[in-house]
Structure 1
Amino acid sequence: MSLRVMVVDDHRASAEGLRDYLKEWGHEVSIAASVAEASQLLDTWRPDAVVSDLMMPPGPGGLALLREVRGRDPWIGFIMLTGFGTIEEAVKAIREGAFDFLTKPVDIDRLQLLLGRLGERNEMRSEVSRLRRKLSSLGETGVIVSRSPEMRRLIELMERVAPSSASVLITGESGAGKDFVAQMLHEMSGRARAPFVAVNCPAIPETLLETELFGHERGAFTGALTDHAGLFEHAAGGTLFLDEITEMAPSLQVKLLRVLETRRFRRVGGSEEKLADFRIFAATNRDPQRAVDEGRLRSDLYYRLNVFRMEVPPLRNRPEDIAPLAARFIAHFAKIEKRAVEGLSHETMGALEAHDWPGNVRELRNAIERAVVLARGPVIDLSDLPESVMKKVVVHARHGSAPVEPLEELERKAILRALEAFDQNKTRTARALGISLKTLQNKLKRYAREEVA
């Protein structure tokens, strides 16, 4: 795809050299020697991409131009060139909206690939819009929902980050949905038509993980009878997702970092350099800074991955999502299992909302799958849930010599403690207790009258 490209560099010879390559690839090119000149050119000529030097003394540099370009049109792809190659500068540029960065001397093959990605991104704008609409309605059509404020904030960040080429570090408890967030980021990006390759780092023995990622040549080690393309190659043009990155051996983390910085790698036992053309997402259920302090995650790799951090909230912090998630899973498993299950009893819904869900969305999904299979009719009853979930709010009497309290007094204490546990939310309290909202309201009115009397 032919693009309109603006090259901004105070070194005329460098700019002209890039211009010659770009024209050879079929792009339309304009050159500017400063931010001021580029700004004037932008008034009359809209590029699809800007390739700019970071430092252009004595005037403002590439970051200032990046901000101006983003202010004019955020869909103009911005590629930053730097002779310094520091992670800090690269991260700053990408966080402010740059599509990617290249170190000098410029890797021409990499530049051509980046421009190709920008072309694909432009073609995918309508597709991205469709996927954004899909993401906004995931309460009805997907595994993750956006009814809670926490998830809405996460989805908003996903929408903004997905079209870039920035690395993303996804954190959150086990079962919270980190892998699904990575998958959706890929589907919303310009790489959606290319492979999404997920790797569960602790699931592959340390001795095999390197060859799985890098691949190997025939004869590289005993048993290597044929050439083997690694996951870096399988992810070409797409996204590589490294789940539980903190479980990767530090020695392999060093090699991964080099690939991410140079965008090149060699198969184990090979001499030919190959281009690493993939976007990287990583995830961990650990606190990443603590993992760095404990030596589980190299600090330089952490900084390279942590361009954008996305925290997936645990299910217990977003109770508003439990009901729509449960409904989605019921529909999913009822279809798979060919069961005429249509919903949950009032008591069952109360138990789901009262549960802490230490296993998060995965635990809820498994609980609903089990309940759909066991349900004897169209409604899931409390007895269909796993024992760990099948519980109501119960007040345990103190052990010892205390006299037995009347049943009505025990009920009163249970209701008042349940109200306190649910922050005075009467609807959730009624569900957790397995009674109707009207019954709860009537009991509370009676307690109020008794206190006045």
Structure 2
Amino acid sequence: MIALEKVLIVEDEVHARSGLTELIESWGYRAESAADGVEGLERAVQWGPSIVVTDLKMPRMDGMELLERIGCLPQRIAVVMLTAQGSIDSAVEAMRMGAYDYIPKPVDPVRLRTILQNASRQHELDEQAEVSPKEVRQSAGVGALVGSSPRMKEIFSLIERVAPSNVSVLVTGESGTGKELVARALHDLSGRRGKPFVAVNCAAIPETLIESEIFGHEKGAFTGALERRAGCFELAEEGTLLLDEIGEMPAATQAKLLRVLEDRKLRRLGSKMETPVDVRVVAATNKDPEQAVANGDLRGDLYYRLNVFNIQMPPLREHVEDVARIADKMIADMNERHGCTVSGMKDILLKRLEEYKWPGNVRELRNTIERAVILAGSGLLGVEHLPPQFGSPGFAPLVKKSGQYAAREIAAAIAEANSSGEVKRYIEDQNTVRVEVGTTVDEAERQLILKTLSSTHNNKTKAAEILGISSKTLQNKLKEYQNSASSATE
């Protein structure tokens, strides 16, 4: 906490106002008070507090109007909204308008103190920052995100505005568009910078373990629970938690998550005690969230609680003017990672990259650039460093999904391309899979799995990793192929 941070309390109820003032002063802040929004605005202009704690409903000028007026002042002031339990929707709307956070009445002193500490830390970072918000926008990037197209500039501006608050954010967009990078940028530009950033993929955790993974468990909570374990919420304490593929979370876990978001307390599996948590939650999904709600995959109340702000990442094909800038950053990253000295791209290569539709989005572009950098080693990248058949009809890019390769999707792409009879060569990386016209998707998948297993010298763990499937799934596939072969010989 910064010494003598100024906090203004705006509350029309006399006892509540004096009680809050005394409490906040006892924590080492300089606190003053005002009886309503009109007086609060005057004090904000004259005194220049860094934080305003205001009631929502007041005579003359309510908290919403005060928030709007404060937002027009030249100095940045974090506004914390006090609200009755029945006015939570109004508080969420206030956060959409730029409030830093809200706290229900009766005020929980622990939560209020945490909010003030976070707001103070954000104020300190803002004062120490050498780059102004305008310069950040002009640098054509936020965090690891880069681009200069209108779409990306809008996203950078939104990230910059939302990051300092504690508001939940829902990031949507196709796979590979950079949703996790948005979450990291929100974290790095917030007062939680320097605290943990924890990302969990809800689709990658078995349904039987996801509740334990997120909320933690006590020793003996279930078979195999040999010791107490902190969940992702506790690991991200005072930091940011990214819940990726939120639509894949089981319904029961979604209900428990909603309660944690509302109460800021969680209960580990097997525990009778509730643990306070101070975590900013960012959720991400590659599905249409409203359709997911309609289908029953995502609880409506959880969606509305998470969707205070929505950042929608566009597919790369909709901002191809950013390909050059993104590729340049990737080349620099790959040079450092692989010890190469590639200096850039030839114009003809850039033209090919900008003309391609990028079904795998930025993730596919990264895979393509990484391959090219390794092949070239130095100098300029050219079209000769692209994957075979790049951009041609039926080209099936080997695109990572959730960090691994999606075997069935690749096999489906191969089978689809075969139907045209235009391309027979699809995946080449020291080994080649060739599939004839008329091959079924299951057979294409079988050939891909067996060829990959052969290329790893029958190392099932490595083959499963390359294919992006679990070892158990690979074992089941191999057993299925063996049973089919036995049946055929009988």
TM-score normalised to structure 1 length? 0.81
Hey, what's the Cα distance between the residues in 2 that align with 1:71 and 1:131? 18
Q: How far is the alpha carbon of 1:85 from its aligned partner?
A: 4.2
Hey, what's the Cα distance between the residues in 2 that align with 1:331 and 1:4? 44
Alpha-carbon deviations, 1:28-78, whole Å to 9, x = none?
A: 222222223323433432222211111124x33111221222222552111
User: Alpha carbons of 1:191 and 1:244: their partners in 2 closer, same or farther (altered >3 Å)?
Assistant: same
Hey, what's the Cα distance between the residues in 1 that align with 2:28 and 2:202? 41
Alpha-carbon deviations, 1:376-418, whole Å to 9, x = none?
A: 76233323212352549xxxxxx9xxxxxxxxxxxxxxxxxxx
1:271 and 2:272 are equivalent in the alignment? yes
Q: How far is the alpha carbon of 1:177 from its aligned partner?
A: 0.6
Hey, what's the Cα distance between the residues in 1 that align with 2:384 and 2:95? 52
| Matched residue, 1:13 | 15
User: Alpha carbons of 1:379 and 1:331: their partners in 2 closer, same or farther (altered >3 Å)?
Assistant: same
| Matched residue, 1:55 | 57
Hey, what's the Cα distance between the residues in 1 that align with 2:150 and 2:28? 46
Structure 1 residue matching 2:302: 3-state secondary structure: helix
Structure 2 residue matching 1:348: 3-state secondary structure: helix
Hey, what's the Cα distance between the residues in 2 that align with 1:330 and 1:90? 45
Alpha-carbon deviations, 1:315-357, whole Å to 9, x = none?
A: 1111111122222222322332233433333432232122100
Structure 1: gaps of 5 or more residues: 393-398, 400-453
Question: Which stretch of structure 1 is more off in the superposition, 332-341 or 61-70?
Answer: 332-341
Hey, what's the Cα distance between the residues in 1 that align with 2:230 and 2:250? 21
User: Alpha carbons of 1:333 and 1:48: their partners in 2 closer, same or farther (altered >3 Å)?
Assistant: closer
| Matched residue, 2:121 | 120
1:241-280 matches, cutoff 5 A: 241-280=242-281
Structure 2 residue matching 1:97: 3-state secondary structure: coil
1:20-419 matches, cutoff 5 A: 20-57=22-59, 59-73=60-74, 75-128=76-129, 130=131, 133=135, 136-137=138-139, 143-375=144-376, 378-391=379-392
User: Alpha carbons of 1:304 and 1:345: their partners in 2 closer, same or farther (altered >3 Å)?
Assistant: same
Contact 2:341 2:377 in 1 (8 A): no
Structure 1 residue matching 2:342: 3-state secondary structure: coil
Hey, what's the Cα distance between the residues in 2 that align with 1:24 and 1:50? 17
Hey, what's the Cα distance between the residues in 1 that align with 2:132 and 2:176? 24
User: Alpha carbons of 1:114 and 1:388: their partners in 2 closer, same or farther (altered >3 Å)?
Assistant: farther
Q: How far is the alpha carbon of 1:213 from its aligned partner?
A: 1.1
User: Alpha carbons of 1:34 and 1:345: their partners in 2 closer, same or farther (altered >3 Å)?
Assistant: closer
The structure that has the greater radius of gyration is 1
Hey, what's the Cα distance between the residues in 1 that align with 2:25 and 2:336? 55
Alpha-carbon deviations, 1:417-452, whole Å to 9, x = none?
A: xxxxxxxxxxxxxxxxxxxxxxxxxxxxxxxxxxxx
Hey, what's the Cα distance between the residues in 2 that align with 1:128 and 1:304? 31
Amino acid at match of 2:15: A
Q: How far is the alpha carbon of 1:239 from its aligned partner?
A: 0.6
Hey, what's the Cα distance between the residues in 1 that align with 2:290 and 2:129? 33
Question: Which stretch of structure 1 is more off in the superposition, 365-374 or 42-51?
Answer: 42-51
Question: Which stretch of structure 1 is more off in the superposition, 119-128 or 101-110?
Answer: 119-128
Aligned residues: 391
Hey, what's the Cα distance between the residues in 1 that align with 2:49 and 2:285? 39
Structure 1 residue matching 2:7: 3-state secondary structure: strand
Structure 2: gaps of 5 or more residues: 394-419, 421-490
Hey, what's the Cα distance between the residues in 2 that align with 1:376 and 1:236? 42
Hey, what's the Cα distance between the residues in 1 that align with 2:145 and 2:21? 46
